[in-house]
Structure 1
Amino acid sequence: MEIRCWQEGDRPFLRTLYLHARRESWTWLNGSDWQLEDFDAATRNERIYVALEDGHRVGFASLVENGNFLHNLFIDPAWQGKGIGSALLEHVQQQFTSTGALKCLAKNQRAIEFYQQHGWTIEATGASPEGEYLLMHYRLP
């Protein structure tokens, strides 16, 4: 597997992956208004890393610049459970200069367990348009 910084040529695929992965993972939400262009807004001014397996784009992660904040981590549903999310997360964690943070939707139990298995802890809760979320932290070893 390869993880690299994104290139503009990745945009069409990542737009599709972002739309499809949210519909597959966030089944409790009505995604009928979601669009391909949502990816652009969700990653604006963020550092994006793309995971490739045998030359195929299979996932991405985006970090808010200067914030040690993981904003997005999505894996193509057809490629989930193969270690790609773990590799991307570990790559992102290596970029942190202090405690890392993320928000995970409280109903996304699979994601919460995934982050906890990688050393993230729940610090607080909050509300968003998509529902309640958990603020999670990752402390550097």
Structure 2
Amino acid sequence: MQIRPYQEADRPFLRNLYLAARQAAFTWRDTQNYRLEDFDRSTIGEEIWIAEQDGRLLGFVSLYRAEDFIHHLYVDPRLPPQGVGSALLHAAERAFTSTGSLKCLVKNHKALAFYHKHGWQIVSPGDDGGEEYYLMHSPKR
């Protein structure tokens, strides 16, 4: 598996992955209004890296580099667990110039367990439009 920078040719796949992964992850939400174009709006100004193996795109991570902030990390929900999310997370962590951060929705138990497994710690709770999240920081280097 390789982690590489985003290319414009990746956009159609990533739009579909972003839609499918959010629908699969956010089971408590009404996702019927989610659209393919959400990916475009949600990643403006971010650096995007792709996980790819044998020409097949597996997932992506998007970073707001100015703040070492992971905005999105999604893996194709049709794939069996194979370390794609971990590879993307580690690639992002290697790029940090200081403590990395992210927000994880409180109800997203699977993601919280994933980040905890990788040493991320909850720093504080927050609320974004009526939905609770945890601000998390990366492990100390």
Q: CA deviation at 1:81?
A: 1.4
TM-score (norm 2): 0.96
Q: How does 1:109-124 map to 2 (within 5 A)?
A: 109-124=109-124
Secondary structure at the aligned position of 1:136 is classed as strand
Q: CA deviation at 1:22?
A: 0.2
Q: CA deviation at 1:65?
A: 2.6
Structure 1 counterpart of 2:32:
32
Distance 1:80 1:43, change over 3 A: farther
TM-score (norm 1): 0.96
Q: How does 1:125-136 map to 2 (within 5 A)?
A: 125-129=125-129, 131-136=131-136
Structure 2: gaps (5+ residues): none
Tell me the distance in 1 between the aligned counterparts of 2:40 and 2:64.
14
Query: Structure 2 counterpart of 1:79, which letter?
Result: L
What stretches of structure 1 move > 6 A for 4+ residues in a row?
Answer: none
Distance 1:130 1:104, change over 3 A: farther
- RMSD value, Cα: 1.1
* Contact 1:98–1:139 (Cα < 8 Å) also in 2: no
CA displacement, residues 70-102 of structure 1 (integer Å, 9 cap, x when unaligned): 000000012241100000000000000000000
Secondary structure at the aligned position of 1:77 is classed as coil
Secondary structure at the aligned position of 1:13 is classed as helix
Secondary structure at the aligned position of 2:3 is classed as strand
Structure 2 counterpart of 1:4:
4
Q: How does 1:56-135 map to 2 (within 5 A)?
A: 56-129=56-129, 131-135=131-135
Aligned length: 141
Q: CA deviation at 1:40?
A: 0.6
Structure 1: gaps (5+ residues): none
Greater alpha carbon shift after TM alignment, 59-68 vs 123-132 = 123-132
Tell me the distance in 2 between the aligned counterparts of 1:88 and 1:106.
21
